[in-house]
Amino acid sequence: MPFWAVQAGFPNGSPLQLGCRSQRRLGEWDQASAEGEPMPKDDRNLLDVLKFELEFLETGGYGRLPGEAWRPRLIFEDSPTCMNFSSEDKDREPCSECLLMQFVPEDVRPEQVPCIHIPLSPTGETISSLYSTGTQQEREEALGAWLRATIRRLEGEKAKQAASADLPRQAIFRKAG
C-alpha cells in the first residue's frame, strides 16, 4: 500500500475521493459525446482537493520514493489529487475535466499537462517555469504559498455566500419579531 493511502482523508474524518472517478476508458469519451451522452466532469469538491494537496505537500508527499530515488516527483502529476494518479496511459481521463483547469490560462489548456502552467504568483511563476529555473524546494514553496492563498480566498468566498444566503431569512425574522 502506498504511503499516501493512509492519509486519504482529513483530520475531521471526512474522506476525499482521489484519483479517477469513473471506470470508463479514454477511448470511450469520443463515442459517448458522439452519442449525445454528456461527458462526465470532475465532481470532487474543489476546496477539499486543494486542502488535501496542501496536506500532501506539507507531509512530504513530493519527497523521493525509495524505489524511484532516481527521479524527482512531479508536482500535481505524482499527487493522489490528480485524476490520473497511477492510471495506465490507456485509462487516463482528459485533463480538461479536472477541477484545476479553472486555474489554467486559456492559451495553455491544450498542453499535455496543463496544471503545471497554473500561475502561482503575481509575476506569473508556474511549476513549468520552476522546473527550468528552480529547485524542488522552490517549487514546493511556491505551490504551498499558492495553495494557502487560494484556499483562504475560496473559504472567504464561501463565507460571503453563506452570509448572503442568510440575509433574506434575517430580514424575515426581524419583520416577524
Distance CA 159, CA 163 (A): 6
The continuous run of DSSP H or E covering 20 comes out as: none
Read off the pLDDT of each residue in 132-155 and give the average, rounded to a whole number: 95
Read off the pLDDT of each residue in 83-93 and give the average, rounded to a whole number: 80
Evaluate if residue 165 carries a pLDDT over 90. Answer: no
pLDDT > 90 in the chain, percent: 45
Distance CA 136, CA 139 (A): 5
Q: What pLDDT is recorded for position 35? A: 46
Evaluate if residue 139 carries a pLDDT over 60. Answer: yes
More confident residue, 90 or 147: 147
**93 falls in which pLDDT band (50, 70, 90)?**
confident
Q: What pLDDT is recorded for position 84? A: 84
Read off the pLDDT of each residue in 50-55 and give the average, rounded to a whole number: 96
Mean pLDDT of the chain: 76
- Buried b / exposed e over 37-55, threshold 16 CB at 10 Å, is eeeeebebeeebbbbbbbb
More confident residue, 172 or 82: 82
| Domain definitions of the chain by residue range | 3-176
Evaluate if residue 51 carries a pLDDT over 60. Answer: yes
Q: Give Cα separations from 142 to 8, 76, 110, 125 (angstroms).
A: 23, 13, 23, 8
Which residue is it, cell 471506470? 23
The continuous run of DSSP H or E covering 53 comes out as: helix 46-58
**121 falls in which pLDDT band (50, 70, 90)?**
very high
Q: How many CB atoms lie within 10 A of CB 152?
A: 10
Q: Which residues contact 151 (CB under 8 A, 6 or more apart)?
A: 47, 50, 51, 54
Distance CA 144, CA 66 (A): 24
**170 falls in which pLDDT band (50, 70, 90)?**
low
